[in-house]
Chains A and B, each alone.
Chain A
Amino acid sequence: MKELIIISGKGGTGKTSLLAAFAALAEDKVLCDADVDAADLHLIMNPEVQERHDFISGRTAVIDPQRCTACGICREMCRFDAIDENFRVNPIDCEGCGVCVHFCPEKAIDFPLNTCGEWYLSETRFGPMVHAQLHIAEENSGKLVSLVRREARQLAEKRGLGLLLTDGPPGVGCPVIASIGGASAVLIVTEPTVSGRHDMQRVIQLAEHLKVRPMLCINKADRNPAVSREIEAFARSKGMAFLGTVPFDPVFTYAMVNGQTVVEYAPDAAATRAVRDIWQTLKVQI
């Protein structure tokens, strides 16, 4: 089974719009949204949720005021300043390490499990989809990313589908590392801006560090043709597969407003043709 993840480093380069277009073009695939912090793919895929599951991970300390003698040991030992002067734990600051629970002489601190989010098995007009939503201000996004990828893989195996198309998160930190480790390849979508180029270079380094093959395409390429050419030359000098460019086109926004992919909304637009060309090359590459 092949697993392709779309990432970008910088946000807003068009990861989700491109992945949605590929979803309309690819056959025999499972869709997966690994941007669990701010998942958007469902806004285009309009999934019918078949199964809904809680994502339970980590714990939060809760001090029972009845049993607490205000001795102060927990506040002294908490390295995350999560316990206030009235011996209440701020759940946003609590790291869930349990040090206070262990050292409380009165055993006054409970340590319940957290429900940090939900994940879903769904059907869409383009096939099955696994997606999730981390609750607001929660931790453990990397673990939820690993979970949705694992579920997507199992679903693909069960249905005999040979491809996982995964929408990744921005950045290079915990959820991105969890998104791309062990994947067949990553497609990096960048844009011809100084930020796009800077962030692309960092995410290429991350892919190399994790030994995942990076491929590159440029969205909104006509915004700054000179920077686009530099990015393409950079990719080729690194021996990366350069899959092509997509021109800036408001059809991406119009399609999104309509809850559609560009392939459905504007099949003959220049941008859609460019996306098709990239998909044809990509299919061969993976």
Chain B
Amino acid sequence: MIISIASGKGGTGKTTVATNLAVALGNGVQLLDCDVEEPNAHLFLRPTLSPAEIVTMPVPVVDEDKCTFCGQCGEICVFKAIVVLGETVLPFHELCHSCGGCMAVCPVDAITEVGRELGVIESGHSNGVEFVHGRLRIGEAMSPPLIKAVRARTRPGGLTIIDAPPGTSCPVIAAMKATDFVLLVTEPTPFGLHDLKLAVGAVRALGLPCGLVINRADMGDDRVRAYAREEGLPILMEIPFDRRIAEAYSRGELVVTALPEWKPKFVQLFEAIAAIVNHTGAKSV
């Protein structure tokens, strides 16, 4: 089973929920931190990380001895990532989406591909959790291929928890598509509600089951709960604002370690998700 944890709005507590859920379950559960722009889960799990493995995406290089400067590569590229100017071909690697069109269209096989570095993947173990994260190279714009590379580490047949990035566009979609359940972490404020609605829209576009965790549940107003009722979204956990939780978080400590009474609550959260997934699965068969 793959559970992705997303939010729309940043800073609502995705990483808190992902790390504590993973550690509360332990037993070799996998945690993939797919917030590759700003990965944080390792700050709480503190695993000993493996040496960084570089992740690349293929981009074109042109053999100008073979090239006839026919211009077909420039014509097929909708991203303007390869341009023919007279007797020169200029590939712009940072604009390339790795579609392979230029290489496929070249009539004289003058184009080959090399890897452009997107970032790195590191992995490790901690607290009974098998941990993997991606770290986007600073200055790199394209995070989805790196997110896909992290997700390619998913261990089939096991339980995998994915910490998704904030927002609702392509990086979030890359992190939550084809997961079995999306857990949306929100806060009961106008910003939280607005961005939650966008996140629910994204989850529905992907046709996935979802449920809510309301963090800092006693700060703000009641509109998130009203929205959840109207939309039939189950509220699977509420975490009240607690100075001790906030302080533990600020120091990089897990809630289940600082306040062990939370451990069974995260186990119950998982059981509630598993019940929904199994029910949905049974219905779709």
Q: Which residues of A contact B (CB under 8 A)?
A: 9-13, 16, 37-38, 40, 43, 58-59, 77, 79-80, 92-93, 95-99, 102-103, 134, 136-139, 141-142, 169-178, 191-195, 198-199, 202, 205-206, 209-210, 223-224, 227, 250, 253, 256-257, 259
Residues of A within 8 A of B167 (CB): 37-38, 141, 169-171
Residues of A within 8 A of B100 (CB): 77, 79, 99
A38 to B247, alpha carbons, bound, how many Å? 27
Q: Are A194 and B251 in contact (CB under 8 A)?
A: yes
A198-B166 contact in complex given A40-B195, A102-B76, A224-B247, C-beta closer than 8 Å: no
Number of interface residues of B (CB under 8 A): 57
A38-B168 contact in complex given A194-B251, A250-B219, A253-B189, C-beta closer than 8 Å: yes
A139-B10 contact in complex given A10-B38, A193-B249, C-beta closer than 8 Å: no
Q: Are A139 and B79 in contact (CB under 8 A)?
A: no
Q: Give a binary string over B191-216; 1 marks a CB under 8 Å from any A CB, 0 the rest.
A: 10011001001100110000000000
Interface of chain B: mostly helix, strand, loop or mixed:
loop
Stretch binding the partner chain, chosen from B22-30, B60-68, B135-143, B268-276: B135-143
Residues of B within 8 A of A98 (CB): 76, 78, 99, 101
Q: Which residues of B contact A (CB under 8 A)?
A: 8-12, 15, 35, 37-38, 40, 43-44, 76, 78-79, 97-101, 104-105, 136, 138-143, 165-171, 173, 177, 189-191, 194-195, 198, 201-202, 205-206, 219-221, 246-247, 249-252
A138 to B37, alpha carbons, bound, how many Å? 18
Residues of B within 8 A of A58 (CB): 78
Q: Are B201 and A38 in contact (CB under 8 A)?
A: no
A174 to B169, alpha carbons, bound, how many Å? 11
Contact of B141 among A11, A142, A198, A199 (CB under 8 A): A142
Q: Are A11 and B104 in contact (CB under 8 A)?
A: no
Q: Are B139 and A206 in contact (CB under 8 A)?
A: yes
Residues of B within 8 A of A80 (CB): 99
Residues of A within 8 A of B168 (CB): 37-38, 134, 136-137
Q: Are B143 and A174 in contact (CB under 8 A)?
A: yes
Q: B93 to chain A: closest CB distance in Å?
A: 15
Q: Are B40 and A77 in contact (CB under 8 A)?
A: no
Q: Are A194 and B76 in contact (CB under 8 A)?
A: no
Q: Are A199 and B40 in contact (CB under 8 A)?
A: yes
A30 to B225, alpha carbons, bound, how many Å? 35
A92 to B202, alpha carbons, bound, how many Å? 10
